[in-house]
Amino acid sequence: MPRYYFHVRDAEGLSVDFEGADFASDERACDEAKQAAKEMLAERILRDELLDGTMFEVFKSAGVLVAKIPLMSVMRFKLSISQRFDGRE
């Protein structure tokens, strides 16, 4: 099984994942990185921290970039057509 690394890039630079984890495929690694991004996003919201373009960069052990997953890309929301940003309907 290939080893994958979830580095975190933010406004302060790159935090390198030196440990990594084994996954059966790129898809499984990306699914896990998306879950980690959701958890990090939730923590930052709860701490009232800035959501500043932070992203996970998923690499295979050979140094191959598999995916970039911005924290904001894992947030789900839905606005109805009748909702407006000024609060009026």
Does residue 83 belong to any structural domain of this protein?
no
User: By three-state DSSP, how is residue 34 classified?
Assistant: helix
Domain count along the chain? 1
Does residue 46 belong to any structural domain of this protein?
yes
Does residue 84 belong to any structural domain of this protein?
no
Q: What are the pLDDT digits (tens) for 35-81?
A: 999 999 999 999 998 878 899 999 998 899 999 999 988 987 776 66
Does residue 41 belong to any structural domain of this protein?
yes
User: By three-state DSSP, how is residue 42 classified?
Assistant: helix
Q: What are the pLDDT digits (tens) for 1-23?
A: 999 999 999 988 999 999 999 99
The pTM (predicted TM-score) of the whole model is: 0.80
Domain range spanning residue 55?
3-73
Does residue 26 belong to any structural domain of this protein?
yes
